Amino acid sequence: MKFLEKDYINKTVLITGHTGFKGSWLSLWLKKLGAKVIGISKEIVHTKGLYTTLSRQNIFSKEYFLDVIDRNKIEDTLIKINPDYIFHLAAQSIVSKSYDEPSLTFYTNAIGTMNILDSIKSIEKKINLIMITSDKCYENVETFYGYKEIDQLGGKDPYSASKACAEIISNCYARSIYNKIDNISIATARAGNVIGGGDWSKDRLIPDAVNAWQKQTILKIRNPKSTRPWQHVLEPLRGYLLLGAFINNNEITKEKLSSISFNFGPRTDDVIEVQEVIKLFSKFFDNSRYEFSQIIENKEASLLNLSFDKSSSILGWYPKLTAQKALKYAAEWYLAQFNGEDILDLSIQQINEYSEL
């Protein structure tokens, strides 16, 4: 915490997608580090998320509600904010929705990324951009080894393809448009399947489970044998913060960077099947019931893993939590909220506990 504080204290940090699951947790952590946190989001999607609590606690110095695909408004707003850091998390992040609305997904995830990158051209101060994409940006060939940052990008579904586009656009701006501009530093971050308190997104395993069990209904699980790089939200957020600090201090120079991207994923033994995750998670809830679907859906890849060797060797980042501990953190948060407890205090407690590991 002290290491990060020196880079973020009193700095103006813009978070796009600040009302979302990861964005709200990152906002709280940065506020604890002493940053001036400013948010840009299209809307408040989930009123039960952490953001609703943060918005009542003066966490944000300023908030703007606009769409990242609105090029003119984004540029005007970024110039007005004049940030030291930008963490770009705003996205259409649901795979199933990308099939229903592919055009919106590409506009938001690809063109939205380009708009952020293009809108800072006239800003003269030093700006550090951390562009958040996804583990699904890789061309998934269903192998057991963890994908590395130099592996081929791709994706058969619109969400995955849009995130691959965002990576290519960010890499292009870093290597050509801003290659000779010293005040702008860019890196991209790819994380695994992130879990934790406050995620209420549709068609995600943990929120679906909590919703079902709070309503005392049976959770129906699709693709039980699919594997994912499960990790608690604090794991990749620590990676994003470290990455921002390193590029701010020019510890990762443009000359040394063959790729601007960094993976943040769990250890190999925590890349486990959906059915194992739900068995572990269900132990924290009374009357938890679930059944596995006999219909196998093929909208998502069945096997996915990330290598974090680069993040470990350059940033000193490594996962601190086992899958079981990550699920425990998540369960504690959901149960506390359901029982009417103070989730802000619990969220701060989890950040503090995690930071001391």
The pLDDT assigned to 287 comes to 87
The pLDDT assigned to 110 comes to 97
Map residue 320 onto helix, strand or coil: coil
Locate 102 and state its tokens.
């592919």
Domain spans of the chain, in order of start? 2-194+231-267+303-323
The CA distances from residue 209 to 154, 223, 280, 336, in Å, are: 30, 14, 12, 16
The pLDDT assigned to 226 comes to 86
What is the pLDDT tens value at each position of the chain, 357 positions in all?
A: 778 999 999 999 999 999 999 999 999 999 999 999 999 999 988 889 999 999 999 899 999 999 999 999 999 999 999 999 999 999 998 888 999 999 999 999 999 999 999 999 999 999 999 999 999 999 988 776 888 999 999 988 999 999 999 999 999 999 899 988 889 999 999 998 899 999 999 889 999 999 999 999 999 998 888 888 899 999 999 999 999 999 998 776 655 554 689 999 999 888 899 999 999 999 999 989 999 876 655 555 566 788 999 999 999 999 999 999 999 999 999 999 999 999 999 999 999 999 999
The pLDDT assigned to 229 comes to 86
The pLDDT assigned to 241 comes to 98
The pLDDT assigned to 303 comes to 67
The pLDDT assigned to 286 comes to 92
Q: What confidence tens digit (pLDDT) does each residue in 38-47 have? A: 999 999 888 8
290's enclosing H/E stretch is strand 290-292
The CA distances from residue 256 to 192, 232, 259, 295, in Å, are: 25, 30, 9, 48
CATH number of 2-194+231-267+303-323: 3.40.50.720
81/18 Cα distance (integer angstroms)? 15
Residue 109 is given by DSSP the state I
150's enclosing H/E stretch is none
The pLDDT assigned to 297 comes to 56
119/332 Cα distance (integer angstroms)? 40
Reading phi first (left if > 0) and then psi (alpha if -120 to 50, else beta), residue 167 is in alpha
- Spatial neighbors of 312 by CB under 8 A, at least 6 apart, are 318
The pLDDT assigned to 225 comes to 87
Pairing verdict, β 62-65 and 271-273: unpaired
194/306 Cα distance (integer angstroms)? 13
- Spatial neighbors of 175 by CB under 8 A, at least 6 apart, are 260
| pTM, 2 dp | 0.95
Q: State residue 207 phi and psi, 5-degree precision.
A: -60, -40
Burial of 115 per CB tally in 10 Å (0-12, 13-18, 19+): buried
The pLDDT assigned to 343 comes to 96
Locate 338 and state its tokens.
């359901």
